[in-house]
Each structure stands twice: as structure tokens, then as C-alpha cells.
Amino acid sequence: MKKKLTPYSIEKKQVRWGFLFTVPCLVFFAVFSFYPIISAFLTSLTNRDAIRRTYDFIGFQNYTYLFTQSNGGFSLLNSLKATAIFTVGTFVPMVVVSLILAVLIMQLRKPGHSKMFELAYYTPAVLSSVVAATIWMILFQPTGLFNQISNFVMHTSGKDYQWLTNNSMLRASTIIVYFWKYIGYFTILFITGLASIPPTIYEAAIVDGSSRWHTFWKITLPLLKPTVVLVSIMAMLQCLKTFSTQYMFVQGGTAREPIDVITMNIYYTGVVNRRLGRSSAMSIILFLIMLCFTYLQFSTQKGGDDVEY
């Protein structure tokens, strides 16, 4: 990747310019990324709250507290569970379905049709999450449209599926909202990946008498593997950080406990209940989780570079 620059007599001057160009960003990230995360870590070792001016160093007590106590009914363990359910429940179907949709769209012979599907699938992604959650809150009402559709699809009549009142259904509801909003986005990512596979490979496969089904499993999927891995991890990281949907649901009056994802617990503990130390400890835990997955992303990406067309 790295290109060697040809040496110049004025090289030194240029080098200074190159460094100067990066300085604004470096300063920015130092103040708005590195300082806050270090500060969050230091705060997580104290019993600081937003009201008292003084606070003491208490070591890792916040962490032990979080893993053993209930934190006012909304424990970290519950949050980890809620986040895990949401993340797995969202990103697995999302990656699978968007991959299928991308393959199907690529099969269409009329470019106008593919464009139309791409546009229609992508449109929910331009709405803000708040708007998406607001629309779906109404659709999920007992007499709302989604119950009517569910009744139609499941051949039941007048059944209330309790989208917002039953705990597991509530979890499913947040997953549906997220799935709806981002399915088009991930479909487009896969379409781009598919488009980068040279058509000559497919032509060769057809000449060799490979069926389309066979071609998909033996050619498309292996060549697409780096994209699949990349998109999966990206989707996973995004799901881990989900906040707006759950926040809107809780503001709208649903139960908090089943969808109390970790970001929401940070928000409530730190901002609403003003326990800065404890919420910082949760922040650090979230950071560590993200760190693991990002490491995974980079390590798989290295392997992914082996694929050559």
C-alpha cells in the first residue's frame, strides 16, 4: 500500500507541510476522543456524582458493584443481556436477508428495476431514528396496522400480539424497527461487493456448465467472504451502540427493563441519576467490548486481503 515518495531537494520542507496538514485533526482527536476516554476511565475509579463537588478514589469498586449489585433495578448484567439479544437478533437476520436481496437485485435484467428497488429499500435509512421509532410505535399499537398485518399473515383474527407490552415482543419490536431502517443500507453494501466481482468469472462458470445455485455457493459466496465478514462486524458494532430506538420506546411508555441496552443504562445512570463514576465504569465496559470486536474486524480484514479475482 505504502508508496515511496521520490526524494526532492526540498523534501524537508514538504515533510513539514505533510505533518502540518494532520495537526488540526490530531488536536481535535486528542481533545475530543483521547482526553474523554482517559477521563472516563479515571472517573470510573471514583465515586463522583454530579451534585457533590468532592469525590474519592475508590479503586475498582464501581466495577465490582456493577457486576454484583442491581443498580436500582436496572443492572449491568440485564443491560448486557438486552444488548446481546438485540445485537444478535438484529445483525444475523440483517446480514442474511440483505445478502439475499443483493443477490436477487443483481439478477434483475432491467437496470431501471434494480435502481427502483435500491431506492425503495434505502429510503427508510434517510429517516432519523427518532422518526422511525415514532412511526413504528403507532404501527405497534393494539389496534394499529402491524397487528392487522400480523393477523392477516398468521391467519388469526383480532389477536393482539402485544408488540409493546409483552417483554419478548417488545424486544422483537425494537429489532424490527432497526431491521426496517437499515436493511436497505446493508443491501447496498452487498450490491457494491457483488458488483466488484468480475463478470468473466461468471462467464467461465457458465461455459463450464455450472448451475446458478452452484455458482452462488462455489463462486459468489467465497469471493464475497471479505465483504460478508466486514459488513457483519460493522453491523454488529452499530447494533452494540443502539440508543435512539430504545430511548424513544421507553419515552413512549413501554417497559424499560427488557430493552435497557447498555447505552441507555449509561444515559440513565450518568445523566438522569447523576452517578458519574458508576456510569463511567459502564462506559469503559462498553468501550472494551467494542475494542474486542474492532480487533476482530482488523484481524479478519488482514485475512480477507488474500482474495484476488
Contact set for other proteins, span 53-112 (CB under 8 A)? 97, 100-101, 104-105, 107-109
Q: Is residue 139 within the footprint of other proteins (CB under 8 A)?
A: yes
Q: Which of residues 193-232 bind other proteins (CB under 8 A)?
A: 193, 196, 211-213, 215-216, 226-227, 230
Determine which residue in the list 253, 302, 306, 308 makes contact with other proteins, applying CB under 8 A: 253
Determine which residue in the list 77, 88, 96, 130 makes contact with other proteins, applying CB under 8 A: 130
C-alpha–C-alpha distance, residues 296 and 252, integer Å = 36
Determine which residue in the list 92, 117, 202, 300 makes contact with other proteins, applying CB under 8 A: 117
Q: How far is the CB of 145 from other proteins (least distance, A)?
A: 5
Q: How far is the CB of 247 from other proteins (least distance, A)?
A: 7
| Cβ contact 222:308 at 8 Å | no
Nearest residue to 45 via CA among 56, 34, 36: 56
Q: How far is the CB of 225 from other proteins (least distance, A)?
A: 12
Nearest residue to 277 via CA among 7, 79, 4, 41: 41
Helix (H, G, I), strand (E, B) or coil at 54: coil
Q: How far is the CB of 156 from other proteins (least distance, A)?
A: 13
Residue 141 C-beta-side C-alpha neighbours within 13 Å: 8
Q: How far is the CB of 167 from other proteins (least distance, A)?
A: 20
- Kindly tell me which of 66 and 266 has the beta carbon lying closer to other proteins: 266
- Residue-wise burial string across 198-232, b where 16 or more C-beta atoms lie within 10 A, e elsewhere: eeeeeeebeeeebeeeebeeebbeebbbbbbbbbb
Determine which residue in the list 76, 164, 172, 188 makes contact with other proteins, applying CB under 8 A: 188
C-alpha–C-alpha distance, residues 255 and 168, integer Å = 11
